[in-house]
């Protein structure tokens, strides 16, 4: 269940793949809702539904990210894969720092963007979250841009991460991917 010298544990793997699925869903829903605009539909689903799902999943992603960070802090890491170069270890360390920062900054800035804006969060269409912050268009715009930039930074980190994994899987054929499966 936990990490050991033999490899990543089930909990770490679960958090990893949950984050992958949640952020993939966020990129998809975020791009659809922006592309179709207000009062439109895509695949029979209206813009408001995409916005509500995007906001709701963002809060779920934040909760999972917090638990993932706690798991990372309290557990040990397995040793580096022996086939990683010194440069790759440094690269992985930096990408991991970007991931963990963006996993927090992106949903928090998204929530602040919504809270300072004109719409709230209707959590999965079941509960309207209270708005603890007053409307403020300037702060809304600041957090909108923080949210967008964090999204691009996270995407760049994902491309680097996936690229390194594919390099090891396809060219070095060293089984690195199996560590997280």
Q: Which domains does the chain have, with CATH numbers?
A: 10-180 (1.20.950)
pLDDT of res. 108: 97
Residue 71 exposed, middle or buried by CB count within 10 Å (0-12, 13-18, 19+):
middle
Q: Rounded to an integer, what distance in angstroms lies between the CA atom of residue 107 and that of residue 109?
A: 5
pLDDT of res. 176: 81
pLDDT, tens digit (0-9, with 9 covering 90-100), for 70-83: 999 988 888 888 89
Q: What are phi and psi of 123, to 5 degrees?
A: -65, 105
Is the predicted pLDDT of residue 94 greater than 80, yes or no?
yes
Contact between 64 and 15 (Cβ < 8 Å): yes
Is the predicted pLDDT of residue 26 greater than 90, yes or no?
yes
Long-range contacts from 139-145, C-beta under 8 angstroms, 24+ separation: 139/112, 140/113, 140/116, 143/109, 143/110, 143/112, 143/113, 143/116, 144/113
What ranges in 4-85 are assigned the alpha helix state H? 10-36, 47-74
Q: Which residue from 149, 155, 156, 73 is spatially nearest to 110, judged by alpha carbons?
A: 149
Higher pLDDT, 40 or 160: 160
Buried/exposed 118-140: b ≥16 CB within 10 Å, e otherwise: eeebbeeeeeeeeeeeeeeeebb
Model confidence band, residue 3 (pLDDT cutoffs 50, 70, 90) = confident
Please give the mean pLDDT across all residues of the chain.
91
pLDDT of res. 151: 93
pLDDT of res. 32: 87
pLDDT of res. 71: 92
Is the predicted pLDDT of residue 28 greater than 80, yes or no?
yes
Q: Rounded to an integer, what distance in angstroms lies between the CA atom of residue 107 and that of residue 49?
A: 18
Token digits of residue 107: 């949903």
pLDDT, tens digit (0-9, with 9 covering 90-100), for 150-175: 999 999 999 999 999 999 999 988 88
Contact between 62 and 108 (Cβ < 8 Å): yes
Q: Rounded to an integer, what distance in angstroms lies between the CA atom of residue 175 and that of residue 172?
A: 8
């Amino acid at each position: 269940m936990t990490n050991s010298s033999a490899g990543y544990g089930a909990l770490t793997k679960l958090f990893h793949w949950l984050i992958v699925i949640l952020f993939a869903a966020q990129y998809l829903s975020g791009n659809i809702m922006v592309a179709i605009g207000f009062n439109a539909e895509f695949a029979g689903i209206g813009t408001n539904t995409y916005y509500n799902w995007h906001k709701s999943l963002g809060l779920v992603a934040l909760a999972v990210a917090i638990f993932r960070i706690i798991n990372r802090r309290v557990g040990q890491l397995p040793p580096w894969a022996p086939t990683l170069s010194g440069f790759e270890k440094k690269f992985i360390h930096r990408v991991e720092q970007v991931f963990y920062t963006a996993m927090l900054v992106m949903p928090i800035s998204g929530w602040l963007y919504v809270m300072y804006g004109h719409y709230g969060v209707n959590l999965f269409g079941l509960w309207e979250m209270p708005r603890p912050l007053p409307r403020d268009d300037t702060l809304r715009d600041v957090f909108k841009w923080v949210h967008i930039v964090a999204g691009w930074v996270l995407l760049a980190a994902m491309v680097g991460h996936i690229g390194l994994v594919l390099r090891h899987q396809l060219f070095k054929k060293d089984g690195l991917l199996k560590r997280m499966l």
